[in-house]
Amino acid sequence: MKRRIIAALGASAVAALVLSGCGSATPQGNQASGTTIEIQSNFTSDVSRGKVLDKLIAEFNKTNDGKYTVVSKAQPDWPTLQQQIRSSISAGTTPDLFLYNFNPTDLSREESGKLMDWSKYLDDDTEWKGRFKDDNLAALDIGGETVGIPGDQAPALFYYNTALFEAAGITEFPATWDEYLADAQKLKDSGVAAISMMTADDSWHTMNAFSYLATAEGGADVYAPGADLDSPAIAKAAEYTEKLLKLSTPDAVGGNYSASTSNFLNGQSASIIDGPWLISSIQSGVKNPCSVAVAAAPTFDNDAIDPGYTVTDSLNVWGAAKQKDAAKEKAVVAWMKFFTSNDSAVKMAVEGEYPMAVQTELSDADRKKASCQMVQVIDIANAAPTSVVQAAREITSGAQAKVPSLLESLALGQTSPNDFAKQLQAVNSQ
């Protein structure tokens, strides 16, 4: 879900897009029958997850022939889809079911009174409820109502080239950040950068590292909304981020996502912190794909947070319109239970390269079908004791805009780690 370029849209263009949309899947076989629901997402039929969604819709419609019919309406551009959803809710035409980006600092959608409450359905089916993380359900509890179902929350994990690690004399992935820095120096001495970093755009790869460093030192709430960012933990994270930038490729300062990713895929850097969308590029762009392994990030040798935790992209949620039609509400629930079942989640992960925000158990046969990286991603996500949203997703939009320049100043030695923390707090408070 990451790696999308946000383009500004004029009001007239948005209005036109809301009216037009972009279809993905239509009912298979017979014409729509029974109760029809429409789902809106960015799962277009030309991408892996969209192809799997189409298959699942066809399976669901066949099983519920004459009772329920699901239709997919896909918009490939994520920002456009989000604007369409906001406009629909404001206009009182909330979609039956839709995928959106959850932002705890802007609950206008959740507090609109136009979203369905899933509480009773979750409480009546404890097995289904247990498939979701408690903290995700808690985040979606607004005024005693569960206003959405967790969709995906991509973990940003370490992908590392085992051949380059072994060539530098490193036999296992380091457990602590100080061990990682020692190994990073070995990698540099062997002629390869330790890690892919970037400071342009949203500084995604670098902010992933910063987020892990901050939470490893200060715990899960170190940069939560309202936290004081002018803290020793944030300063230490900046200090170690500065060190990592020096151990990265020469183009890290000013480089963008594409350059940073290419450096890893081409073997110019030995590791990268990214989401599962990277897997398809590894499978197609690395000569021996399974030479790339996946690991949870190191921690500091303290008790700030449990090892094995994950930093994630922001939570994406399936919201639904508050319905007057009881049959349509039942159809929405039936589809969502089917879509978030283990069988469906496995298909989305294995075939669609899209891990969902549910506990996903892979059989031995599934493991043989899935890519070597996806198996590891799912195992790490399932075992994670806690998950923390990446720092740039938790700070204000004004602070987000300042992050690239702050990181560049840090990398060039123009700003000290302590000053970085002070400045980040200052822009986050404006």
pLDDT tens digits, residue range 141-166? 999 999 999 999 999 999 999 999 99
Q: How far is residue 407's CA from residue 230's CA, in Å, rounded to a whole number?
A: 15
User: According to the model, what pLDDT value does residue 240 have?
Assistant: 98
How far, in Å, are 156, 310, 337 from residue 218 at the CA level? 19, 15, 37
Q: Give burial (CB, 10 Å; 0-12/13-18/19+) of 219.
A: middle
Section 318-340 average pLDDT: 97
Q: How far is residue 126's CA from residue 119's CA, in Å, rounded to a whole number?
A: 11
User: Does the pLDDT of residue 7 top 70, yes or no?
Assistant: no
pLDDT tens digits, residue range 363-381? 999 999 999 999 999 999 9
Q: How many residues does the chain have?
A: 430
Higher-scoring residue by pLDDT: 69, 430: 69
User: Does the pLDDT of residue 3 top 50, yes or no?
Assistant: no
DSSP assignments along 63-101, one per residue? HTTTTEEEEEEE-S-HHHHHHHHHHHHHHT---SEEEEE
Pairing label, strands 155-161, 310-312: antiparallel
Show Cβ contacts of residue 351 under 8 Å, excluding neighbours closer than 6 positions.
Answer: 48, 51, 52, 369
Section 114-129 average pLDDT: 98
Sign of CA dihedral 323, 325, 326, 331: negative
User: According to the model, what pLDDT value does residue 104 have?
Assistant: 85
43 neighbors 50 (Cβ within 8 angstroms): yes
Model pTM greater than 0.85? yes
Structure tokens given for 196: 């892919």
Structure tokens given for 64: 């519920």
Show Cβ contacts of residue 297 under 8 Å, excluding neighbours closer than 6 positions.
Answer: 157, 158, 212, 216, 273, 310, 311
How far, in Å, are 90, 107, 115, 318, 322 from residue 112 at the CA level? 8, 8, 7, 16, 11
Least confident span in 23-27, 295-299, 326-330: 23-27
Show Cβ contacts of residue 239 under 8 Å, excluding neighbours closer than 6 positions.
Answer: 417
Domains located in the chain, CATH noted? 11-153+314-361 (3.40.190.10), 155-311+388-429 (3.40.190.10)
Section 224-246 average pLDDT: 97
User: According to the model, what pLDDT value does residue 113 have?
Assistant: 95
Strand partners, 150: 317
Going by C-alpha positions, the residue among 100, 129, 122 that lies closest to residue 112 is: 100
User: According to the model, what pLDDT value does residue 33 have?
Assistant: 65
Section 94-119 average pLDDT: 95
pLDDT tens digits, residue range 279-299? 999 999 999 999 999 999 999
How far, in Å, are 131, 276, 320 from residue 356 at the CA level? 11, 11, 18
- Burial string for 75-92 (b: 16+ CB within 10 Å, else e) reads bbbbbbbbbbbbbbbeee
DSSP type of residue 115: B
User: According to the model, what pLDDT value does residue 32 have?
Assistant: 53
Between CA 184 and CA 187, with CA 186 as vertex, the angle to 5 degrees is: 65
DSSP type of residue 392: G
Q: Residue 238 carries which side chain, given as an amino acid letter? A: A
Q: Give burial (CB, 10 Å; 0-12/13-18/19+) of 239.
A: middle
Sign of CA dihedral 195, 199, 200, 206: positive
How far, in Å, are 23, 207, 258, 273 from residue 204 at the CA level? 31, 5, 11, 9
Sheet with 23-25, edge to edge strand ranges: 23-25, 68-74, 35-41, 97-101, 316-320, 149-152
User: Does the pLDDT of residue 131 top 80, yes or no?
Assistant: yes
pLDDT tens digits, residue range 42-73? 999 999 999 999 999 999 999 999 999 999 99
